[in-house]
Structure 1
């Protein structure tokens, strides 16, 4: 997210900013160490049972807060000159300037020693502003090799859900755009911390806001993409798969549905996990998406069909697909959404009707849903040659008399390989 050309950014003198919040001080007070803080920030620090100066870590001989009237007058004069309404606006996005690289370095150092969760949250929110500002800032954080372990530790140990969610937000940005090393490091950290990290992620999906849920699911997808061991570790964590499957309900936010489907596609590459997902009635949720009158989004439909295609490789998956209207939903999406969706739909029907042929009622459902006509159009479409061949195979299996002329010249000796 770059800066809008119409926005005005205020350059704040560094000594006007509280060392804890890095925002302009409204009530500057000094400790016995000589360091000045904004009263609300330092009061929270002291109320948390701390007896040191946050900036110097010196033990405080006195916890008296002495108003810094000179600095307060300077801040008042400065704010009057730049416009007090701009400085005191309640909208953080328009007030708080983007931290500098030096300030972020200082913030990261503070995070290693800071224990107060309110102060840690303020620090992380500053880092969020920094990392969202420009690509160069993200690149800077990618190079911080100790950042991912630090964020994992915060997610694992924090008690406040807001602090957990903010740490997950930064993790999401770092590992999504970062390199394979960061992904492997996160996976290894998750494997070695006894499941506490996954427990925190589970709670974030369960209790967090929509944005936090999406970021948490995205982090899970990245972890599960590393290897089979990571996939099984997540799948065996009580409640995670159940919670994510709930997230693909048609009543859920479309962006969360899409993120959840992406994660389920990634984790289902493990055959053992695939069986778990089928047993957890994932197919029933996909059926509801396919039978919904209004398409939620193109991406959601494509991913739903892709996941269903993966499930069709297992006997129990095919059994679930063949019951309860799912086949009708697949046929319904033929030629209606996108070429990608059509190709997934044809592959699913091909598995059910041509390769395995375990349930003859599927053929009746396809015919009844006008599937043959759609398959004839698929043969003439811009789908891949393999998918067009599958459509021809399906029409032969369905033995529809009306298609006899279209198939008069068709004869195949092709051996097909399952596309899984």
Structure 2
């Protein structure tokens, strides 16, 4: 019976995927060339024009310009300006055409028409407003997935929602009385999508943290009940609103919330989840009390596994080392790191292997242990894995002056501690250590 259900679920998933592919193929075959991006040849979601007058999809042209090109891809003219202008007229024409096609595709059976996801993304702005109004009034019959698809579709759609205080406030208000976590998951995804827009973080800070309703309890509930995507969204939202000491304190002191963020970094193997949770912990855990709590939870062991393991995702490594550097600013954190030899080995392992920022965070951790705390256990652990050589390599690299100074102090301490080493008489003016 279980096998039959599993087979059925797989078949449904495969069928849905095939239907989406069929929709995309149908659109690619029928959409006029005017609506296609000259770079990707796909239907433009957010058409923008260069100074040459040629229109491209925003994502495609921004990628082209970010690679250092200063020409128009279609005409190869040198650009006098790399600014882009939204082509609102063409965008509206594309929407009208796709909406008409999705509702009455000539010569196609209903099963061949574009998917509901595509139709949802083609909601007009007035329809999106009406949907928000219905949702905020308690009408849960309107599928919130329509609004999710709408904000996912284009930057202009996200900006339309974000540019109104009332719309953003209404979305947050929906969480107040909602007891269906599957429904709340969708609202969180919408809020996550509009986070980068101007003013949204400040508005969410005011609405969530300075309201007569305890929204943080709702976030705690969603961490416990929601799916992985909504927990990632929750972590990103909490990080975004923790931009001052008062906000950080309120979030950190909310019973159980800090632990749920920690669990997200410790229990999930999804890189996006680990990065989101570590990033949130960095923003929120700025007080000594919060750092002590993280140490008590076991954050040092968690980060040590990340650093000494096979993780290769740069943002995850950077965030892991930044968390450790933050924890190392309190006594309890330094003691915990010193007692975890594997964590120290992981820090040494990642020096010069990820990014300049990651290396500087790692040097900060080693300096805090070996120079600030003068911990002999930590000093021995660093020497044991040839840490002195790695510090010398960093010292000779293009690091910032602060990191270079910490490297110099580390060299002095470790050189004395390891007097039998051939590097004991190291002189930066005459000796050079090649990176490895």
TM-score of the superposition, structure 1-length normalised? Answer: 0.72
Matches within 5 A, 1:366-377: 366-377=382-393
Quote the Cα distance in structure 1 between the aligned partners of 2:135 and 2:267. Answer: 40
1:262-307 deviation line (CA, Å, top 9, x unaligned): 1001012233322332233222211221221x12411111111111
The answer to whether the Cα contact below 8 Å between 1:198 and 1:234 also exists between their aligned partners in 2 is yes
- For this pair of structures, how many residues does the alignment match? 332
Unaligned runs of 5+ in 2: 1-22, 32-99, 431-436
Q: Does 1:382 pair with 2:401?
A: no
Residue in structure 2 matching 1:331, options 348, 354, 357: 348
1:225-250 deviation line (CA, Å, top 9, x unaligned): 2x222222212222211111111126
1:43-97 deviation line (CA, Å, top 9, x unaligned): xxxxxxxxxxxxxxxxxxxxxxxxxxxxxxxx9xx757351245666x4334545
Structure 1 pair 85–95 and aligned structure 2 pair: CA distance change class (3 A): farther
CA shift for structure 1 position 203? 2.5
Q: Does 1:265 pair with 2:282?
A: yes
Query: In structure 2, what is the equivalent of residue 274 of structure 1?
Result: 291
1:345-381 deviation line (CA, Å, top 9, x unaligned): 1111111111221x21111111101101111211222
Structure 1 pair 103–87 and aligned structure 2 pair: CA distance change class (3 A): farther
The answer to whether the Cα contact below 8 Å between 2:304 and 2:346 also exists between their aligned partners in 1 is yes
Structure 1 pair 126–351 and aligned structure 2 pair: CA distance change class (3 A): same
The answer to whether the Cα contact below 8 Å between 2:281 and 2:323 also exists between their aligned partners in 1 is yes
Quote the Cα distance in structure 1 between the aligned partners of 2:334 and 2:265. Answer: 20
Matches within 5 A, 1:297-308: 297-308=313-324
Matches within 5 A, 1:168-187: 168-174=188-194, 176-180=195-199, 182-187=200-205
1:159-192 deviation line (CA, Å, top 9, x unaligned): 1112101111111122x21234x32332232234
**Larger-Rg structure:** 1
Structure 1 pair 81–367 and aligned structure 2 pair: CA distance change class (3 A): same
Matches within 5 A, 1:10-409: 79=104, 81-85=106-110, 91-96=115-120, 98-113=122-137, 115-119=138-142, 122=143, 124-174=144-194, 176-180=195-199, 182-193=200-211, 196-225=214-243, 227-249=244-266, 251-292=268-309, 294-325=310-341, 326-357=343-374, 359-398=375-414, 399=416, 400=418, 401-407=421-427
Structure 1 pair 80–196 and aligned structure 2 pair: CA distance change class (3 A): same
Quote the Cα distance in structure 2 between the aligned partners of 1:235 and 1:268. Answer: 7
Task: Report the RMSD for the aligned CA atoms in angstroms.
Answer: 2.7
The answer to whether the Cα contact below 8 Å between 1:312 and 1:318 also exists between their aligned partners in 2 is yes
TM-score of the superposition, structure 2-length normalised? Answer: 0.70
Quote the Cα distance in structure 1 between the aligned partners of 2:290 and 2:26. Answer: 48
Quote the Cα distance in structure 1 between the aligned partners of 2:235 and 2:268. Answer: 18
The answer to whether the Cα contact below 8 Å between 2:161 and 2:168 also exists between their aligned partners in 1 is no
Quote the Cα distance in structure 2 between the aligned partners of 1:231 and 1:280. Answer: 18
SS at match of 1:81: coil
1:204-258 deviation line (CA, Å, top 9, x unaligned): 2223222211111111111222x22222221222221111111112652111000
The answer to whether the Cα contact below 8 Å between 1:334 and 1:345 also exists between their aligned partners in 2 is yes
Unaligned runs of 5+ in 1: 12-74, 411-420
The answer to whether the Cα contact below 8 Å between 1:231 and 1:273 also exists between their aligned partners in 2 is no
